[in-house]
């Protein structure tokens, strides 16, 4: 189970880094990419919140303590 958690954590890190980079690139490209920039900003905020919420709900359902 630890190996799966590590793989998922690294995948999350890669996704967040790509979101940060895409936000930077879209900001530099100018006005034509404003919708893409806003989508990247929203995703940068929403993705970590959703990951936290899924983990929180999983712990509530399974009844496991926070630290194993």
**Diameter of the chain measured on Cα atoms:** 48
Give the per-residue pLDDT at 21.
Answer: 93
Taking the C-alpha atoms of residue 18 and residue 24, their distance in angstroms, rounded to an integer, is 10
pTM of the model: 0.70
Q: Is the pLDDT of residue 11 over 80?
A: yes
Give the per-residue pLDDT at 54.
Answer: 85
Q: What angle do CA 47, 18, 5 make, to 5 degrees?
A: 60
Instruction: Please give the distance of CA 24 from its chain centroid, rounded to a whole number.
Output: 16
Q: Which residue has the higher pLDDT, 63 or 28?
A: 28
């Amino acid at each position: 189970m630890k190996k799966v958690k590590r793989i998922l954590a690294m995948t999350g890190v890669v996704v967040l880094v790509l979101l940060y980079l895409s936000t930077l690139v879209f900001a530099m490209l100018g006005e034509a990419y404003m919708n893409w920039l806003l989508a990247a900003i929203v995703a940068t905020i929403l993705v970590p919140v959703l990951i936290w919420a899924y983990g929180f709900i999983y712990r509530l359902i399974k009844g496991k303590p926070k630290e194993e």
